Protein backbone atom coordinates (compact mmCIF):
# COMPACT_ATOMS: atom_id res chain seq x y z
CA UNK A 1 0.00 0.00 0.00
CA UNK A 2 2.87 2.36 0.89
CA UNK A 3 4.49 1.77 -2.51
CA UNK A 4 1.17 2.44 -4.25
CA UNK A 5 0.72 5.73 -2.38
CA UNK A 6 4.25 6.73 -3.35
CA UNK A 7 3.50 6.04 -7.04
CA UNK A 8 0.31 8.08 -6.86
CA UNK A 9 2.15 10.99 -5.25
CA UNK A 10 4.77 10.87 -8.00
CA UNK A 11 2.01 11.07 -10.58
CA UNK A 12 0.76 14.20 -8.86
CA UNK A 13 4.21 15.71 -9.11
CA UNK A 14 4.42 14.96 -12.84
CA UNK A 15 0.98 16.27 -13.58
CA UNK A 16 1.42 19.54 -11.69
CA UNK A 17 1.15 22.12 -14.47
CA UNK A 18 4.11 22.62 -16.71
CA UNK A 19 6.60 23.06 -13.85
CA UNK A 20 8.64 20.02 -14.73
CA UNK A 21 8.84 20.98 -18.38
CA UNK A 22 10.05 24.45 -17.46
CA UNK A 23 12.92 22.80 -15.60
CA UNK A 24 14.20 21.55 -18.95
CA UNK A 25 15.50 24.41 -21.08
CA UNK A 26 14.29 27.95 -21.44
CA UNK A 27 10.63 28.92 -21.43
CA UNK A 28 9.52 29.39 -25.04
CA UNK A 29 8.01 32.59 -26.36
CA UNK A 30 4.19 32.84 -26.41
CA UNK A 31 2.59 31.18 -29.40
CA UNK A 32 -0.07 32.63 -31.66
CA UNK A 33 -3.51 31.07 -31.16
CA UNK A 34 -4.17 27.81 -33.01
CA UNK A 35 -7.70 26.58 -33.61
CA UNK A 36 -8.75 22.97 -33.30
CA UNK A 37 -10.62 21.37 -36.22
CA UNK A 38 -14.40 20.82 -35.89
CA UNK A 39 -13.87 17.04 -35.69
CA UNK A 40 -12.10 17.66 -32.37
CA UNK A 41 -14.26 20.43 -30.89
CA UNK A 42 -17.58 19.05 -32.11
CA UNK A 43 -18.70 22.54 -33.12
CA UNK A 44 -19.62 23.58 -36.67
CA UNK A 45 -16.99 25.50 -38.58
CA UNK A 46 -19.23 28.33 -39.74
CA UNK A 47 -20.23 28.24 -43.39
CA UNK A 48 -21.06 24.67 -44.39
CA UNK A 49 -19.57 23.55 -47.69
CA UNK A 50 -20.49 20.43 -49.66
CA UNK A 51 -18.86 17.23 -48.41
CA UNK A 52 -17.36 16.56 -51.83
CA UNK A 53 -15.49 19.85 -51.64
CA UNK A 54 -13.97 19.13 -48.23
CA UNK A 55 -13.36 15.38 -48.49
CA UNK A 56 -10.13 14.41 -46.77
CA UNK A 57 -7.45 12.50 -48.59
CA UNK A 58 -7.53 8.79 -47.87
CA UNK A 59 -5.20 8.09 -44.98
CA UNK A 60 -2.47 5.53 -45.58
CA UNK A 61 -3.54 3.48 -42.59
CA UNK A 62 -7.03 2.79 -43.94
CA UNK A 63 -6.02 -0.04 -46.25
CA UNK A 64 -4.57 -1.93 -43.29
CA UNK A 65 -7.68 -1.42 -41.19
CA UNK A 66 -9.98 -2.57 -43.97
CA UNK A 67 -8.21 -5.84 -44.68
CA UNK A 68 -5.72 -6.73 -41.92
CA UNK A 69 -5.57 -10.40 -42.90
CA UNK A 70 -4.02 -9.46 -46.22
CA UNK A 71 -0.79 -8.45 -44.48
CA UNK A 72 1.87 -10.45 -42.59
CA UNK A 73 2.06 -10.31 -38.78
CA UNK A 74 5.09 -8.02 -38.74
CA UNK A 75 3.15 -5.45 -40.73
CA UNK A 76 0.21 -5.41 -38.34
CA UNK A 77 2.65 -5.17 -35.43
CA UNK A 78 3.94 -1.99 -37.06
CA UNK A 79 0.41 -0.57 -37.24
CA UNK A 80 -0.21 -1.14 -33.53
CA UNK A 81 3.22 0.23 -32.62
CA UNK A 82 2.77 3.40 -34.70
CA UNK A 83 -0.54 4.12 -33.01
CA UNK A 84 0.82 3.64 -29.49
CA UNK A 85 3.98 5.65 -30.20
CA UNK A 86 1.95 8.52 -31.69
CA UNK A 87 -0.45 8.39 -28.73
CA UNK A 88 2.48 8.57 -26.30
CA UNK A 89 3.94 11.60 -28.09
CA UNK A 90 0.56 13.33 -28.11
CA UNK A 91 0.12 12.78 -24.37
CA UNK A 92 3.53 14.34 -23.75
CA UNK A 93 2.67 17.45 -25.74
CA UNK A 94 2.29 20.42 -23.39
CA UNK A 95 0.05 23.48 -23.64
CA UNK A 96 2.96 25.50 -25.08
CA UNK A 97 3.38 23.04 -27.97
CA UNK A 98 6.56 21.46 -26.60
CA UNK A 99 6.95 17.83 -25.58
CA UNK A 100 8.10 16.18 -22.40
CA UNK A 101 11.44 15.25 -23.93
CA UNK A 102 12.17 12.22 -21.81
CA UNK A 103 11.43 10.45 -18.56
CA UNK A 104 13.20 8.28 -16.02
CA UNK A 105 10.35 5.90 -15.11
CA UNK A 106 12.06 4.52 -12.01
CA UNK A 107 12.33 8.01 -10.49
CA UNK A 108 9.28 9.52 -12.20
CA UNK A 109 11.35 12.52 -13.22
CA UNK A 110 11.97 14.22 -16.58
CA UNK A 111 15.33 13.75 -18.26
CA UNK A 112 17.72 16.68 -18.30
CA UNK A 113 20.34 17.71 -20.83
CA UNK A 114 18.24 17.15 -23.96
CA UNK A 115 18.64 19.76 -26.68
CA UNK A 116 15.94 20.98 -29.05
CA UNK A 117 16.70 18.34 -31.68
CA UNK A 118 14.81 16.05 -29.31
CA UNK A 119 11.79 18.34 -29.69
CA UNK A 120 12.24 18.47 -33.46
CA UNK A 121 12.22 14.69 -33.84
CA UNK A 122 9.15 14.42 -31.59
CA UNK A 123 7.35 16.96 -33.77
CA UNK A 124 8.40 15.15 -36.96
CA UNK A 125 7.03 11.87 -35.65
CA UNK A 126 3.67 13.42 -34.83
CA UNK A 127 3.47 15.25 -38.19
CA UNK A 128 4.05 12.10 -40.22
CA UNK A 129 1.78 10.02 -37.98
CA UNK A 130 -1.01 12.59 -38.36
CA UNK A 131 -0.72 12.39 -42.14
CA UNK A 132 -0.53 8.60 -42.15
CA UNK A 133 -3.47 8.02 -39.80
CA UNK A 134 -5.70 10.94 -40.79
CA UNK A 135 -6.30 11.58 -37.07
CA UNK A 136 -7.43 15.18 -36.52
CA UNK A 137 -6.25 15.22 -32.91
CA UNK A 138 -2.79 14.22 -34.05
CA UNK A 139 -3.01 16.87 -36.75
CA UNK A 140 -3.86 19.57 -34.21
CA UNK A 141 -0.98 18.46 -31.99
CA UNK A 142 1.40 18.46 -34.97
CA UNK A 143 0.41 21.95 -36.08
CA UNK A 144 0.90 23.36 -32.58
CA UNK A 145 4.26 21.60 -32.23
CA UNK A 146 5.46 23.10 -35.53
CA UNK A 147 4.53 26.59 -34.30
CA UNK A 148 6.51 25.93 -31.12
CA UNK A 149 9.54 24.83 -33.16
CA UNK A 150 9.34 27.98 -35.25
CA UNK A 151 9.89 30.04 -32.08
CA UNK A 152 13.38 28.50 -31.98
CA UNK A 153 14.20 30.35 -35.22
CA UNK A 154 14.20 33.99 -36.28
CA UNK A 155 14.28 36.08 -39.43
CA UNK A 156 17.81 36.71 -40.64
CA UNK A 157 18.49 40.45 -40.10
CA UNK A 158 20.72 40.45 -43.17
CA UNK A 159 18.32 38.59 -45.47
CA UNK A 160 14.53 38.96 -45.37
CA UNK A 161 14.14 35.73 -47.35
CA UNK A 162 16.09 33.66 -44.84
CA UNK A 163 15.19 32.22 -41.42
CA UNK A 164 17.87 30.96 -39.03
CA UNK A 165 17.82 28.87 -35.82
CA UNK A 166 18.48 30.89 -32.67
CA UNK A 167 20.82 28.59 -30.74
CA UNK A 168 24.47 28.08 -31.62
CA UNK A 169 25.24 24.76 -33.28
CA UNK A 170 27.34 23.74 -30.28
CA UNK A 171 24.11 23.76 -28.23
CA UNK A 172 21.66 22.56 -30.88
CA UNK A 173 22.88 21.98 -34.41
CA UNK A 174 21.40 24.61 -36.70
CA UNK A 175 21.50 22.55 -39.88
CA UNK A 176 19.87 19.63 -38.08
CA UNK A 177 17.12 21.75 -36.54
CA UNK A 178 16.36 23.66 -39.76
CA UNK A 179 16.29 20.42 -41.78
CA UNK A 180 13.92 18.59 -39.44
CA UNK A 181 11.64 21.62 -39.18
CA UNK A 182 11.37 21.73 -42.98
CA UNK A 183 10.55 18.02 -42.98
CA UNK A 184 7.94 18.56 -40.24
CA UNK A 185 6.16 21.24 -42.24
CA UNK A 186 6.10 19.20 -45.43
CA UNK A 187 4.89 16.11 -43.54
CA UNK A 188 1.88 17.92 -42.06
CA UNK A 189 -1.45 16.56 -43.42
CA UNK A 190 -2.33 19.93 -44.97
CA UNK A 191 0.38 22.54 -44.28
CA UNK A 192 -0.75 26.16 -44.30
CA UNK A 193 0.66 28.26 -47.13
CA UNK A 194 2.32 30.54 -44.58
CA UNK A 195 4.18 27.58 -43.09
CA UNK A 196 5.41 26.60 -46.56
CA UNK A 197 6.83 30.13 -46.87
CA UNK A 198 8.66 29.70 -43.57
CA UNK A 199 9.99 26.34 -44.74
CA UNK A 200 11.32 28.04 -47.87
CA UNK A 201 13.10 30.61 -45.71
CA UNK A 202 14.70 27.83 -43.70
CA UNK A 203 15.73 26.29 -47.02
CA UNK A 204 17.54 29.53 -47.82
CA UNK A 205 19.51 29.07 -44.61
CA UNK A 206 20.48 25.55 -45.73
CA UNK A 207 21.45 26.91 -49.14
CA UNK A 208 24.05 29.11 -47.45
CA UNK A 209 25.59 26.05 -45.80
CA UNK A 210 26.25 24.29 -49.12
CA UNK A 211 29.83 24.23 -50.34
CA UNK A 212 31.19 24.10 -53.89
CA UNK A 213 32.60 20.59 -53.37
CA UNK A 214 29.13 19.23 -52.48
CA UNK A 215 29.70 19.15 -48.70
CA UNK A 216 27.50 20.77 -46.06
CA UNK A 217 28.98 23.21 -43.53
CA UNK A 218 26.97 21.98 -40.56
CA UNK A 219 28.87 23.92 -37.87
CA UNK A 220 29.21 27.64 -37.17
CA UNK A 221 32.33 29.45 -38.31
CA UNK A 222 34.77 28.97 -41.15
CA UNK A 223 36.64 25.91 -39.86
CA UNK A 224 35.93 22.60 -41.61
CA UNK A 225 32.84 21.03 -40.04
CA UNK A 226 34.47 17.62 -39.79
CA UNK A 227 37.22 19.16 -37.64
CA UNK A 228 34.89 21.09 -35.31
CA UNK A 229 32.29 18.31 -34.97
CA UNK A 230 33.64 15.09 -36.52
CA UNK A 231 30.57 13.03 -35.56
CA UNK A 232 28.14 15.52 -37.09
CA UNK A 233 29.02 14.43 -40.63
CA UNK A 234 27.15 11.20 -39.95
CA UNK A 235 23.83 12.94 -39.27
CA UNK A 236 23.38 16.51 -40.46
CA UNK A 237 24.29 16.43 -44.18
CA UNK A 238 21.88 13.53 -44.72
CA UNK A 239 19.09 15.41 -42.95
CA UNK A 240 19.90 18.49 -45.04
CA UNK A 241 19.50 16.57 -48.30
CA UNK A 242 16.27 14.97 -47.10
CA UNK A 243 14.94 18.46 -46.38
CA UNK A 244 16.01 19.79 -49.79
CA UNK A 245 14.22 16.90 -51.50
CA UNK A 246 11.04 17.57 -49.50
CA UNK A 247 11.24 21.26 -50.40
CA UNK A 248 11.90 20.52 -54.08
CA UNK A 249 8.78 18.35 -54.28
CA UNK A 250 6.69 21.42 -53.46
CA UNK A 251 8.83 24.15 -55.01
CA UNK A 252 11.23 22.77 -57.63
CA UNK A 253 14.39 24.83 -58.00
CA UNK A 254 17.57 24.18 -59.92
CA UNK A 255 19.91 24.94 -57.02
CA UNK A 256 18.34 22.19 -54.92
CA UNK A 257 18.83 19.57 -57.61
CA UNK A 258 22.39 20.76 -58.26
CA UNK A 259 23.13 20.51 -54.53
CA UNK A 260 21.85 16.94 -54.45
CA UNK A 261 23.95 15.88 -57.44
CA UNK A 262 27.12 17.41 -55.98
CA UNK A 263 26.29 16.15 -52.48
CA UNK A 264 25.82 12.55 -53.53
CA UNK A 265 29.16 12.60 -55.33
CA UNK A 266 31.00 14.16 -52.39
CA UNK A 267 29.53 11.95 -49.69
CA UNK A 268 29.98 8.76 -51.71
CA UNK A 269 33.70 9.50 -51.75
CA UNK A 270 33.60 10.38 -48.05
CA UNK A 271 31.69 7.20 -47.20
CA UNK A 272 34.21 5.06 -49.09
CA UNK A 273 36.96 6.46 -46.88
CA UNK A 274 34.89 6.67 -43.67
CA UNK A 275 32.16 3.97 -43.77
CA UNK A 276 29.65 4.53 -40.98
CA UNK A 277 26.27 2.90 -40.26
CA UNK A 278 25.05 6.21 -38.83
CA UNK A 279 25.98 8.11 -42.00
CA UNK A 280 24.25 5.43 -44.05
CA UNK A 281 21.14 5.81 -41.89
CA UNK A 282 20.82 9.56 -42.50
CA UNK A 283 22.00 9.68 -46.13
CA UNK A 284 20.26 6.59 -47.53
CA UNK A 285 16.70 8.03 -47.57
CA UNK A 286 17.97 10.97 -49.61
CA UNK A 287 20.00 8.78 -51.97
CA UNK A 288 17.05 6.44 -52.61
CA UNK A 289 14.68 9.30 -53.39
CA UNK A 290 17.31 10.94 -55.56
CA UNK A 291 17.65 7.72 -57.58
CA UNK A 292 13.87 7.38 -57.99
CA UNK A 293 13.84 10.91 -59.40
CA UNK A 294 16.87 10.74 -61.66
CA UNK A 295 17.47 7.01 -62.29
CA UNK A 296 21.17 7.71 -61.82
CA UNK A 297 23.12 4.45 -61.70
CA UNK A 298 25.85 6.15 -59.66
CA UNK A 299 23.36 7.17 -56.96
CA UNK A 300 21.92 3.63 -56.91
CA UNK A 301 25.41 2.21 -56.40
CA UNK A 302 25.98 4.63 -53.51
CA UNK A 303 22.67 3.59 -51.96
CA UNK A 304 23.56 -0.10 -52.27
CA UNK A 305 26.95 0.51 -50.67
CA UNK A 306 25.30 2.16 -47.67
CA UNK A 307 22.56 -0.46 -47.36
CA UNK A 308 25.11 -3.28 -47.53
CA UNK A 309 27.10 -1.59 -44.76
CA UNK A 310 23.98 -1.50 -42.58
CA UNK A 311 23.30 -5.18 -43.19
CA UNK A 312 26.90 -6.08 -42.33
CA UNK A 313 26.64 -4.08 -39.09
CA UNK A 314 23.50 -5.84 -37.88
CA UNK A 315 23.49 -8.35 -35.05
CA UNK A 316 22.34 -11.83 -36.08
CA UNK A 317 21.05 -14.68 -33.96
CA UNK A 318 24.07 -16.92 -34.48
CA UNK A 319 26.64 -14.60 -32.91
CA UNK A 320 25.11 -13.37 -29.66
CA UNK A 321 23.77 -14.80 -26.43
CA UNK A 322 20.95 -12.32 -25.87
CA UNK A 323 18.48 -12.82 -28.73
CA UNK A 324 16.76 -9.56 -27.80
CA UNK A 325 19.59 -7.72 -29.54
CA UNK A 326 18.97 -9.43 -32.91
CA UNK A 327 18.24 -6.71 -35.44
CA UNK A 328 20.21 -4.05 -33.62
CA UNK A 329 23.40 -2.56 -35.02
CA UNK A 330 27.06 -2.38 -34.03
CA UNK A 331 27.90 1.31 -33.88
CA UNK A 332 31.42 2.51 -32.98
CA UNK A 333 31.42 3.91 -29.46
CA UNK A 334 28.27 2.06 -28.38
CA UNK A 335 28.53 -0.86 -25.98
CA UNK A 336 25.09 -2.21 -26.92
CA UNK A 337 22.51 -1.59 -29.65
CA UNK A 338 20.30 1.43 -28.99
CA UNK A 339 16.76 2.41 -29.95
CA UNK A 340 18.27 4.95 -32.36
CA UNK A 341 18.55 1.89 -34.62
CA UNK A 342 15.08 2.95 -35.78
CA UNK A 343 16.69 5.54 -38.05
CA UNK A 344 18.76 2.78 -39.66
CA UNK A 345 15.64 0.64 -40.07
CA UNK A 346 13.98 3.53 -41.89
CA UNK A 347 16.98 3.74 -44.20
CA UNK A 348 16.68 0.02 -44.97
CA UNK A 349 12.98 0.50 -45.77
CA UNK A 350 14.04 3.10 -48.34
CA UNK A 351 16.65 0.71 -49.75
CA UNK A 352 13.97 -1.99 -50.04
CA UNK A 353 11.83 0.34 -52.13
CA UNK A 354 14.84 1.14 -54.32
CA UNK A 355 15.60 -2.54 -54.89
CA UNK A 356 11.97 -3.19 -55.79
CA UNK A 357 11.99 -0.37 -58.34
CA UNK A 358 15.28 -1.29 -60.07
CA UNK A 359 14.28 -4.25 -59.76
CA UNK A 360 16.78 -6.40 -57.84
CA UNK A 361 15.06 -9.36 -56.20
CA UNK A 362 18.14 -10.52 -54.30
CA UNK A 363 18.80 -7.16 -52.70
CA UNK A 364 15.08 -6.65 -52.09
CA UNK A 365 14.91 -9.82 -49.99
CA UNK A 366 18.13 -8.99 -48.16
CA UNK A 367 17.12 -5.42 -47.27
CA UNK A 368 13.54 -6.33 -46.37
CA UNK A 369 14.71 -9.02 -43.95
CA UNK A 370 17.20 -6.65 -42.32
CA UNK A 371 14.55 -3.92 -42.03
CA UNK A 372 12.00 -6.24 -40.40
CA UNK A 373 14.61 -7.45 -37.90
CA UNK A 374 15.66 -3.88 -37.07
CA UNK A 375 12.07 -2.76 -36.51
CA UNK A 376 11.46 -5.81 -34.34
CA UNK A 377 14.48 -4.97 -32.20
CA UNK A 378 13.34 -1.39 -31.56
CA UNK A 379 9.74 -2.48 -30.93
CA UNK A 380 11.21 -4.69 -28.19
CA UNK A 381 12.24 -1.45 -26.45
CA UNK A 382 8.73 0.02 -26.62
CA UNK A 383 6.69 -0.23 -23.41
CA UNK A 384 3.54 -2.36 -23.72
CA UNK A 385 0.77 -3.38 -21.32
CA UNK A 386 2.46 -6.71 -20.66
CA UNK A 387 5.76 -5.13 -19.61
CA UNK A 388 4.43 -2.32 -17.39
CA UNK A 389 2.11 -3.99 -14.89
CA UNK A 390 4.37 -2.99 -11.98
CA UNK A 391 3.70 0.74 -12.55
CA UNK A 392 0.76 2.57 -10.97
CA UNK A 393 -2.10 2.57 -13.49
CA UNK A 394 -2.55 6.31 -14.06
CA UNK A 395 1.19 6.87 -14.28
CA UNK A 396 1.57 3.93 -16.69
CA UNK A 397 -1.22 5.15 -18.94
CA UNK A 398 -0.03 8.75 -19.10
CA UNK A 399 3.73 8.43 -19.21
CA UNK A 400 4.83 4.89 -20.02
CA UNK A 401 2.69 3.00 -22.55
CA UNK A 402 3.94 3.44 -26.11
CA UNK A 403 7.17 5.17 -25.15
CA UNK A 404 10.52 3.81 -26.34
CA UNK A 405 13.44 3.39 -23.95
CA UNK A 406 17.09 3.90 -24.83
CA UNK A 407 18.37 0.32 -24.68
CA UNK A 408 17.99 -3.04 -22.98
CA UNK A 409 20.01 -1.77 -20.02
CA UNK A 410 18.72 1.83 -19.96
CA UNK A 411 15.00 2.21 -19.30
CA UNK A 412 14.84 5.98 -19.79
CA UNK A 413 12.10 6.91 -22.27
CA UNK A 414 13.02 9.41 -25.01
CA UNK A 415 10.65 11.45 -27.16
CA UNK A 416 13.08 11.47 -30.08
CA UNK A 417 13.56 7.68 -30.01
CA UNK A 418 9.80 7.13 -29.80
CA UNK A 419 9.34 9.41 -32.80
CA UNK A 420 12.10 7.63 -34.74
CA UNK A 421 10.30 4.31 -34.31
CA UNK A 422 7.06 5.84 -35.59
CA UNK A 423 8.86 7.42 -38.56
CA UNK A 424 10.64 4.18 -39.46
CA UNK A 425 7.53 2.04 -39.30
CA UNK A 426 5.46 4.46 -41.37
CA UNK A 427 8.22 4.45 -43.97
CA UNK A 428 8.16 0.65 -43.95
CA UNK A 429 4.37 0.59 -44.26
CA UNK A 430 4.63 2.79 -47.35
CA UNK A 431 7.64 1.04 -48.88
CA UNK A 432 5.95 -1.87 -50.67
CA UNK A 433 7.77 -4.30 -48.37
CA UNK A 434 4.77 -4.39 -46.01
CA UNK A 435 2.95 -6.83 -48.29
CA UNK A 436 3.21 -10.59 -48.09
CA UNK A 437 6.31 -11.85 -49.89
Position 219 pLDDT exceeds 50 = yes
Residue 28: inside a domain: no
Distance, in Å, from the CA atom of 157 to the CA atom of 270, rounded to the nearest integer, reads: 35
Distance, in Å, from the CA atom of 430 to the CA atom of 259, rounded to the nearest integer, reads: 27
Distance, in Å, from the CA atom of 187 to the CA atom of 285, rounded to the nearest integer, reads: 15
For residue 391, the model assigns a pLDDT of 87
Counting other chains too, the contacts that 389-393 makes at CB distance below 8 Å and 24 or more residues apart are 391/7, 391/105, 392/4, 392/7, 392/8, 392/10, 392/11
For residue 387, the model assigns a pLDDT of 79
Mean pLDDT of 353-378: 96
* Structural element, H or E, at residue 110: strand 109-110
Residue 372: inside a domain: yes
Residue 13: inside a domain: no
Mean pLDDT of 32-61: 50
For residue 437, the model assigns a pLDDT of 62
Mean pLDDT of 226-247: 97
For residue 319, the model assigns a pLDDT of 64
- Low-confidence winner among 49-63, 251-265, 346-360 (lowest mean pLDDT): 49-63
For residue 56, the model assigns a pLDDT of 64
Residue 4: inside a domain: no
Percent share of the chain, pLDDT over 70: 86
For residue 8, the model assigns a pLDDT of 36
Most confident of 23-37, 144-158, 378-392: 144-158
Q: Is 99 helix (H, G, I), strand (E, B) or coil?
A: strand
Mean pLDDT of 348-372: 97
pLDDT digit string, tens, across residues 65-115 = 999 999 999 999 999 999 999 999 999 999 999 999 999 999 999 999 999
For residue 320, the model assigns a pLDDT of 64
CB atoms within 10 A of CB 113: 9
Domain of residue 333, CATH code: 1.50.10.10
Range of the domain at 241: 59-429
Phi and psi dihedrals of 374, rounded to 5?
-65, -45
- Low-confidence winner among 35-49, 154-168, 225-239 (lowest mean pLDDT): 35-49
> Of 99, 73, 153, 39, which Cα lies nearest the Cα of 372?
73
Residue 208: inside a domain: yes
Distance, in Å, from the CA atom of 341 to the CA atom of 327, rounded to the nearest integer, reads: 9
pLDDT digit string, tens, across residues 123-159 = 999 999 999 999 999 999 999 999 999 999 999 999 9
For residue 377, the model assigns a pLDDT of 97
- Low-confidence winner among 23-27, 116-120, 146-150, 334-338 (lowest mean pLDDT): 23-27
Q: How confident is the model at residue 385 (pLDDT cuts 50, 70, 90)?
A: confident
Residue 336: inside a domain: yes
Mean confidence (pLDDT) of the chain: 88
CB atoms within 10 A of CB 53: 6
pTM: 0.87
Q: How confident is the model at residue 388 (pLDDT cuts 50, 70, 90)?
A: confident
For residue 342, the model assigns a pLDDT of 98
For residue 21, the model assigns a pLDDT of 38
Residue 268: inside a domain: yes
Where residue 336 falls (left for φ over 0; alpha for ψ -120 to 50; beta otherwise) is beta
Q: How confident is the model at residue 168 (pLDDT cuts 50, 70, 90)?
A: very high
> Of 258, 264, 336, which Cα lies nearest the Cα of 306?
264
- If one counts the domains in the chain, the total is 1
For residue 58, the model assigns a pLDDT of 82
Give exposure, 313-345, as e/b (b: 16+ Cβ within 10 Å).
bbbeeeeeeeeebbbbbebeeeeebbbbbbbbb
Residue 43: inside a domain: no
pLDDT digit string, tens, across residues 268-289 = 999 999 999 999 999 999 999 9
Amino acid sequence: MRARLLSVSLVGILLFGNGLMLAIGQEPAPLPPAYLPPSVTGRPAGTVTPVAATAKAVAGIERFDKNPKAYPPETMQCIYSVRTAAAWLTRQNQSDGRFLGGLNPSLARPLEGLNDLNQAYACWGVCRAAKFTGDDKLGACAAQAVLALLTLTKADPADANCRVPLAESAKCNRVGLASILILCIHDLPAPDARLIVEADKLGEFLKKQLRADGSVQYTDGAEPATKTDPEGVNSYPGLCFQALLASDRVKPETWKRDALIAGMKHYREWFAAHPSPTLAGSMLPAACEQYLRTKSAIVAEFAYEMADTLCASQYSGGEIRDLRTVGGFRIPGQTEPLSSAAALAEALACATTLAAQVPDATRYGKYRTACVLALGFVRGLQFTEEATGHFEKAFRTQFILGGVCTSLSNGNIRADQTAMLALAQIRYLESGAEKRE
